[in-house]
Chain A
Amino acid sequence: MKNSLDYYFKDVGRRKLLTRAEEVSLSKRIEKGDLLARQHMIESNLRLAISIAKKYYKSGCSMEDLIQESNIGLMKAVEKFDWRRGFKFSTYASWWIRQSVSRYVSTHRNTIKVPAHASSLAYKIKNLMEEYESEFNQSPTMTEITEILGVTENMVKASLDSMKFRHLVSFDSTLGNDEGGRQILETIPDVNSVTPDKILDQKRVSDIISASLSKLTKREEQVMRLRFGLSDIEDSRELMLDEEKFNEIKDKKGEV
C-alpha cells in the first residue's frame, strides 16, 4: 500500500510548471491581493520545495516535516517575490525554502532543542577555529574568539556546549528505520548482571571446593580456618559436605 507521501508526490507531479511570463502575470495579480493567483503560484512550485526538502532527509528529520517547512519557505517567497528585478521565481524562492528547512533541521534534529542563533554561532566558531588552526597551526584562545566574533565569553561557551548535543541518541529509538525494530536500550549489555550459565558454573565450582574441603583432615581444616580468621573451628566440620556428597559431585562432573 502506498503511503500518503506517494500520493502527495503524484499529485504535485501533475501540476504544470510556470513559464516566465506566467510568473510575472501571477506576481502582478498577487500584488493586487489575488488569493487564487497566490495559490496557483505556490502549487506550481511545490516540486521545487520537495526537491530542496529531499536534500535534508539525511539530517534525521521526517520527510513530511521537511516538506512542510519547505512549503512554508515557499509561501514566504511568494509573498516577497519582486518580479521587477527580472529573476526567475525559482531562483529567489530556493533561498527562502533552504533557509526555512535548514532552520527547522538545526532546531529539531536533536532531542534537546538548540536555538538557531546558538547553532549559527557554533558554526561560526567551528569555521573560525579551523581557519585559525590552518593559518597559525594552533587553536585560538577564548579571548581571541570573542574578539574576532564580537561576542561574549559566555555566549561562546554556551554555543560550544550546544555542539555536544548534536549527536545525542535516545535509548528508546529503534535501530535502523524499522518501526518494530529493537530499541537501542535493548542492545546495551548489563555489566552487573550474572548470566544463568555463570551462576551454574559458580555453583558447580563451589560444590567441588566444598567437597574438597570435606576431604581435609581435622587438623588441616583447623589450620585453614585459623589462617582465614573463621571462628568456631570445633563444630565447623559437621557443616561441611560428607564423602558421599563429594563422590556424587565428582560423578556429575564426569558426565559434563
Chain B
Amino acid sequence: MAMPKGHKSRHGYATVSSLDGGLGYREIAETMTEKGDKMNHSTARNVFLSSMRKVARDACEMMGVDPTEANLKRVSSDPRFQSGVIDILKESHV
C-alpha cells in the first residue's frame, strides 16, 4: 500500500535555518528550562504553534478570512506570515 502523500505547502516551509539566530524546539526547551520554565521540545513546539495561531486569528478576522482551525493552521505556518510577525516583533523591540 502506498504511503500517504502528506501535505505540500504552496509557499514553502518556515524553518529555523532560514532565521538568523532562530532556535530549534529542543534548544528552546533547554533555554526555557534554564530560565526556570521547565518544558520539553514538544511543549516548546506546542506553545510556539498555539501562540502563532492566536496571532493568526486576529489577522484572519481583519482580512475577512474565516478563522477555522484549518485556516489558522495554514496561515500560522505560512513563512510569509511568520516573516511579517518577525518584522513586527523586531520593530516593537527597537
Task: List residues of A whose CB falls within 8 A of some B CB.
Answer: 204-206, 208-213, 215-216, 219-232, 236, 239-241, 253
Best-buried of A211, A222, A227 by chain B (most CB within 10 Å): A227
Known: A209-B88, A223-B48. 6 other contacts (CB 8 A): A209-B58, A210-B92, A213-B85, A229-B23, A231-B21, A239-B92
Q: Which of B25, B55, B57 contacts A213 (CB 8 A)?
A: B55
Chain B residues with CB under 8 Å of A204's CB are: 62
The answer on a CB contact under 8 Å between A222 and B32 is yes
The answer on a CB contact under 8 Å between B93 and A236 is yes
Chain B residues with CB under 8 Å of A220's CB are: 47-48, 50-51, 54
B86 within 8 A of A: yes
Residue of A nearest to B87 (CB): A206
Chain A residues with CB under 8 Å of B20's CB are: 229
B16 within 8 A of A: yes
Write 12 A-B pairs (CB below 8 A) sorted by A numbering.
A205-B59, A209-B55, A209-B59, A209-B85, A209-B88, A211-B58, A212-B58, A221-B51, A223-B32, A228-B86, A230-B89, A232-B93
A125 to chain B, nearest CB (A): 49
B62 to chain A, nearest CB (A): 5
The answer on a CB contact under 8 Å between B59 and A208 is yes
Chain A residues with CB under 8 Å of B82's CB are: 228
Task: List residues of B whose CB falls within 8 A of some A CB.
Answer: 16, 19-23, 25, 27-28, 31-32, 35, 37, 44, 47-48, 50-52, 54-55, 57-59, 61-63, 82, 84-86, 88-93
The answer on a CB contact under 8 Å between B22 and A229 is yes
Q: What's the Cα separation between A156 and B29 when bound, in Å?
A: 72
Q: What's the Cα separation between A231 and B23 when bound, in Å?
A: 11
How many interface contacts (CB-CB < 8 Å) are there between A and B?
A: 96
Secondary structure of the A contact surface, majority rule: helix
Best-buried of A208, A210, A224 by chain B (most CB within 10 Å): A224
B92 to chain A, nearest CB (A): 5
The answer on a CB contact under 8 Å between A213 and B89 is yes
Q: What's the Cα separation between A204 and B61 when bound, in Å?
A: 12
Chain B residues with CB under 8 Å of A211's CB are: 58
The answer on a CB contact under 8 Å between B92 and A212 is no
Q: What's the Cα separation between A224 and B90 when bound, in Å?
A: 12
Residue of B nearest to A224 (CB): B51
Best-buried of B28, B85, B88 by chain A (most CB within 10 Å): B88
B50 to chain A, nearest CB (A): 7
Best-buried of B50, B61, B62 by chain A (most CB within 10 Å): B62
> Contacts A212-B54, A216-B54, A240-B92 hold; do A226 and B28 have CB atoms under 8 A apart?
yes
Chain A residues with CB under 8 Å of B54's CB are: 212, 215-216, 220
Chain B residues with CB under 8 Å of A228's CB are: 19, 22, 82, 85-86, 89
